[in-house]
Amino acid sequence: MDLIQNLELEILELREMLKNKEEDLREAKRNKFSKSYDNVIGTKSNINIGNIPKWAIERYSRQILLPDIGVMGQEKLMSSKVLIVGAGGLGCPASVYLAGAGIGEIGIVDYDTVDISNIHRQILHTESDWCKSKAKSAAESLRRINSNIKVTPYTIEFKPENAVQIASNYDLIIDCTDNVPTRYMLSDLSIITKVPLISGSALKMEGQLTIYGYRESRNEKSSGPCYRCLFPTPPPAAAVGSCSANGVAGPVPGAIGSLQALEAIKLLVGRNRENLLVGRMLIFDGEDMTFRTVKLRPKNPKCESCSDHATIKQLTNYEVLCKMQSKEKDLDLNILPQSHRISATELSKSLNTQRHLLIDVRSEAEYNMCHLEDSVNYPLEQLYGEKFDLLVENIKNNDNVIFICRRGNDSQIAADKILKVLPDAKIKDLSGGLHAWAEQVDRRFPIY
Ligand SMILES: Nc1ncnc2c1ncn2[C@@H]1O[C@H](COP(=O)(O)OP(=O)(O)OP(=O)(O)O)[C@@H](O)[C@H]1O
């Protein structure tokens, strides 16, 4: 028995020794690598091979082996500057691969902070980055991936007042944002500054990407349509989906962001127009796992931004263009008069004394995530379907009807629609929605 125990102890000791030796070996390798890098920085020493140093050949060998990249392509990547706007679902994977590929300088712009609901897809941020600036968190992670590149975080909103000055320092812009005003601005910016733009988007299980503002050389006209050629007038704000309202599967922006990085690498090493997504859009459907490329409409000969008759010579107010309300106003539509609204605290008190019909108009998936006890689910779109009459009948027979949604906008739309057919109905909407409930009444209720 003793013999077996002794042997086991010896095995444990040997394992420990092996682990230490392995760590020593890794440390020695790391030292060797950084020493050889130190030798090269700031010098044209004789260990340079061709035009790129030994350390870079070792580090980037797997992509240099590709005939489309090669040593010359690697040199171009290492002297390129890429600006990534948005450090979210698309910006994280796009910048990871660009940092990995050794892009000389990466600028990353984002005014927001990391939210816990971002982490399922925004792979540069971790739990310990929660509430940190996204641009700073992304920059820190990128520097950990590649300490040989320069990374500049911009913790600001990218807007007409600062966009031209920042973008002019870069060779390429990558649109990783999530809103229409910024998309129009980036497209115009690309035409004005002659910096090409790789635009991506992802929502639910779908994503797409294309290149705008591509030019064979700076003196040539841009090829392919710009965003304004395709969408001369912005869609109504309500028709635009967002990840926070519609959801997104993490790997979908992961795939699109990675492909944006791939297009960036190809563009920077000088691949031909035909090999790039110029005048074409790649569409990915994660539901049935298909990729398809569609040809985009040609340039609009009357485009205000990129045609010969362009009138847009400087950036304008894109919030006005897209008829956006300010973010605060967005949170509360104020459709209903005060007499048809009830605060979360008032509702909580009233629930203790009276019977109510609580109608939750969120989607079924949201309702299943969390809902108030005894509420019934009646998704907003059903108000426009065949069950509407049934709902009206139900409401007629109730004295206390409360419409509920996430933030208090859809519930007002629903209540307003019912009031148009039943003007005397005893209807109210929960002001501020379930967010207000979570903040004012029950902190256990999840805010999403
Ligand atoms: N004009 C802008 N300037 C700087 N950053 C921007 C601008 N417009 C959008 N962004 C950033 O682009 C990123 C887009 O990321 P993503 O689409 O994953 O959405 P999100 O806002 O992080 O998450 P969610 O929609 O789930 O709340 C966000 O971090 C947002 O702050």
User: Each residue of 46-66: pLDDT tens digit?
Assistant: 545 567 899 999 999 999 999
Ligand 1 proximity of 318 Cβ (cutoff 6 Å): no
Instruction: Indicate which residues carry an active-site annotation.
Output: 243, 405
Instruction: Calculate mean pLDDT across residues 94-110.
Output: 98
pLDDT(327) > 50: no
pLDDT in tens, 117-168: 999 999 999 999 999 999 999 999 999 999 999 999 999 999 999 999 999 9
Q: Which two tokens stand for residue 15?
A: 């394992």
CA distance 13 to 10: 5
Please give the pLDDT value at position 332.
63
Work out the end-to-end distance of the chain between its first and last CA atoms, rounded to an integer number of angstroms: 59
The pLDDT, as a whole number, for residue 42 is 45
Measured CA to CA, the distance from residue 89 to residue 121 in angstroms comes to 5
Q: Which of 178, 208, 321, 330 has the most ligand 1 atoms within 8 A of CB, as the residue to mutate?
A: 178
H helices of 122-218, in order, are: 134-145, 160-167, 180-193
Question: What's this model's pTM, rounded to 2 decimal places?
Answer: 0.83
- At 39, the pLDDT band (50, 70, 90 cuts) reads very low
- Which tens digits make up the pLDDT trace of 251-296? 999 999 999 999 999 999 999 999 999 999 999 999 999 999 999 9
Q: Is 37 in the pocket of ligand 1 (CB under 6 A)?
A: no
DSSP 3-state of 401? strand
Q: Does ipTM come in above 0.95?
A: yes
Mutate to test the pocket of ligand 1, among 152, 166, 177 (most ligand atoms within 8 A of CB): 177
Element (H, E) at 27: helix 2-40
109 CB less than 6 Å from ligand 1?
yes
Residue 431, class by beta-carbon neighbours within 10 Å (0-12 exposed, 13-18 middle, 19+ buried)?
buried
Residues 6+ apart with CB under 8 A from 214: 196, 222, 223, 224, 267, 273, 276, 278
Atom 22 of ligand 1, residue of closest alpha carbon? 88
Q: Which of 121, 308, 103, 93 is nearest to 200 (CA)?
A: 93
Q: Which DSSP category does 133 fall into? A: B
At 44 the pLDDT is 45
Residue 241: strand pairing partners: none
Tell how many helices (H) and how many strands (E) occur in the chain: 17, 15
Beta strands in 150-254 (DSSP E): 150-154, 172-175, 197-203, 206-212
Q: Which residues are annotated as a binding site for Zn(2+)?
A: 226, 229, 303, 306
pLDDT at 29 over 80: no
Q: CB of 111 closer than 6 A to ligand 1?
A: yes
Average pLDDT, the chain: 91
Asked whether the beta carbons of 407 and 435 are under 8 A apart, the reply is: yes
CB-CB contact of 264 with 221 (8 Å):
no
Token reading at 84: 């990534």
CB 212 within 8 A of CB 197: yes
Atom of ligand 1 nearest to the CA of 243: 25
- Amino acid at position 200, single letter: G
Nearest CA to ligand 1 atom 9: 177
Question: Which residues pair with residue 151 across a beta bridge?
Answer: 106
82-95 average pLDDT score: 98
Residue pLDDT, tens place only, 404-418: 999 999 999 999 999
